[in-house]
Amino acid sequence: MKKIRVMFCVIIFMTGLGIASYPFISNMVAQRHASQVVKDYETNVEEMDEEKIDAMKEAAKKYNEQLSNVVSVDDENENNEQGESYADLLNIGESLGYITIPKINVNLPIYNGTSQDVLSKGVGHMEQSSYPLGGESTHCVLTGHRGLPSAVLFTDLDKLEIGDEFYLHVLDEILAYKVDQIKVVEPNESGDLEIIDGKDYCTLVTCTPYAINSHRLLVRGERTEYKGEQDKQTKNQMQTGALTKRIVDVWPWLLGAFLVAVLIESGIFFSILKRKKQDMEE
């Protein structure tokens, strides 16, 4: 009987350990995939000649100039009349670039579109928003999930504050944006995503409040001078930082699994003692 109790306790603990470890392990897998996509993108860009890069930039610039005449990012009819699909502009592989947000240890690929498949593995570029190459009268919109058990993604986006910076790596360009506005809006409110004449904006979008997702958190950055050393230094520390954070997040679950196992074992132990006592009294 004692061996059965021990085995039962071990099974419960291991089950709890497996459940608690899932976010940690799955995030490691997701982060490894994201890192590989980023590495492949950088390799593809390095292998491109300057003429091809310039041609792609010119195509993206023309697309953005067309968009600057659009009143709203939700006006699909006007966008459909513009001809060239934004997905055909920069065919460099799986992603169109990547984003780094040093403060919250984000280093993620940017993909075309905002489908569920895209948002489950990285950051999506919202169609009908400016292609992420900057310039006057542009407004790039990037979206990401938060709270997924399998990946961190934009989970910590709400920790950004006015003055924090994030970086877009597209082709041979690195664009720096400084956060100048943080707002919470209804899902159907898109006024803050519109292009502003003469401005160079990039807005990061995710759901809020955490796990409720009834509204949208908009973190807007305005183009600023790129100071490469900060991004380079923090980028090299991101994977370790994200891993450490995930371990910290998992420990409460591990402790909980251990306590549950102890409580169940204690319950079984005292139940057996009580039954033996009753048998002796009879």
Active-site residue numbers?
A: 145, 207
CA dihedral 156, 158, 164, 168 (to 10 degrees): 60
Helix (H) or strand (E) holding 104: none
The three-class DSSP label of residue 96 is coil
Positive or negative torsion for Cα 123, 94, 125, 224? positive
Dist. CA 159–CA 138, nearest whole Å: 25
Is 62:190 a contact under the CB 8 Å cutoff? no
Q: Are strands 173-185 and 165-170 parallel, antiparallel or unpaired?
A: antiparallel
Task: Classify residue 94 as left (phi > 0), alpha (psi -120 to 50) or beta.
Answer: alpha
User: E strands, the chain, where?
Assistant: 97-101, 106-112, 123-125, 138-143, 165-170, 173-185, 200-208, 215-224
Helix (H, G, I), strand (E, B) or coil at 51: helix
Which amino acid appears at position 277 of this protein? K
